Structure 1
């Protein structure tokens, strides 16, 4: 028995699928990151935060809500927001109703950066992703994505 089969119940074909998927995901992330850096001089982390706040009703989110919305740890949010605040993309203000809470607000410069990034980012997503898949493949990918997300998503809290 080879070492790989002793470690897992994953077939050689399944490993091939996994490695291909993993490489595709990493290369797509890298291509989209490069596009944002080249076209807009912002990182994908910047864009993710800017877009979440830009799409919010009040153009601001509490730090904890921002962390929950994009699935980051609070400490990562804090560090990234600090860097973006120093660059003039965001402002932090204290919550009036909760002295422990902080609002993260998008600035005029942050709005310009977001709007500037959106067109190129959308074009890159279309070029690298949607244009290379047909409708059947997209439907299959949606189904696969939903199944994997359901398998890895934390169980909802029991309110009882």
Structure 2
């Protein structure tokens, strides 16, 4: 063991464990809510949300992967499943024959329209409603500082993307 290790004290361990459980549990809970209410997984919702916010509902596959902070192979596998479900379609990019454009289908648009109200309610009820305005600001500040620290270390999945 390195003598330079700055071990966590008991209170820091408590904070870390609470954060770790929140990170792991929140994503699972959000997935369960989305699947229950709209039959979309969290990752499918993320893809459809990104497409719904894009100009004309179309994004290059590489840009979509970058925006979501995912490896292209992960996105490619997901897009194949979403195509099978009729949620998205792929087409060759007219300006670069090596790339593909991803577009939301009518079924995809219907799915995100159905899913969005429940998802927003889940976020509001579980993230914003339990916190005071001061706690919300502290959470935002802490999250941004943690992200910046990980980015500076070069370990953030997608260092070029920062959501506001």
Do the two structures share a fold, i.e. TM-score over 0.5?
yes
User: RMSD of the TM alignment (CA)?
Assistant: 1.9
Give distance in 2, aligned partners of 1:7 and 1:84.
45
Structure 2 unaligned regions, length at least 5: none
Secondary structure, in 3 states, of the residue corresponding to 1:16? helix
Match of 1:22 in 2: 20
Match of 1:49 among 31, 47, 66: 47
> What is the CA–CA distance in structure 2 between the aligned matches of 1:129 and 1:143, rounded to whole Å?
15
- Once the two structures are superposed, the pairs formed by residues 89-104 of structure 1 within 5 Å of their partners are 89-104=87-102
SS in 2 for 1:32: helix
Structure-2 residue corresponding to 1:70 = 68
| 2:144 paired with 1:153 | no
1:81 is aligned to 79
Q: Does 1:130 align with 2:128?
A: yes
- Offset, 1:115: 0.6
Are the structure 2 counterparts of residues 153 and 7 from structure 1 closer, same or farther at C-alpha, using a change threshold of 3 Å?
A: closer
Equivalent residue pairs, number = 154
Q: Partner residue of 2:106?
A: 108
Other-structure match for 2:38? 40
What is the TM-score when the length of structure 2 is the normalising length? 0.88
Q: Which runs of 4+ in 1 moved over 2 A?
A: 5-9, 154-157
Q: Does 1:118 align with 2:122?
A: no
Question: Could you tell me how far apart the structure 2 residues matched to 1:86 and 1:8 are?
Answer: 50
| 3-state DSSP of counterpart to 1:153 | helix
Q: Secondary structure at the match of 1:72?
A: coil
Residue 7 of structure 1 deviates from its aligned partner by 5.9
Tell me what 2:7 maps to: 9
Counterpart Cα distance in 2 of 1:83 and 1:30: 20
> Is the counterpart of residue 60 in structure 1 residue 58 in structure 2?
yes
Contact 1:28–1:128 (8 Å) recurs in 2: no
Conservation of the 8 A alpha-carbon contact between 1:60 and 1:106: yes
Residues 36-78 of structure 1 show CA distances to partners (whole Å, capped at 9, x for unaligned) of 0000001001000010011101201001000010100000010
Which residues of structure 1 form unaligned runs of 5+?
A: none
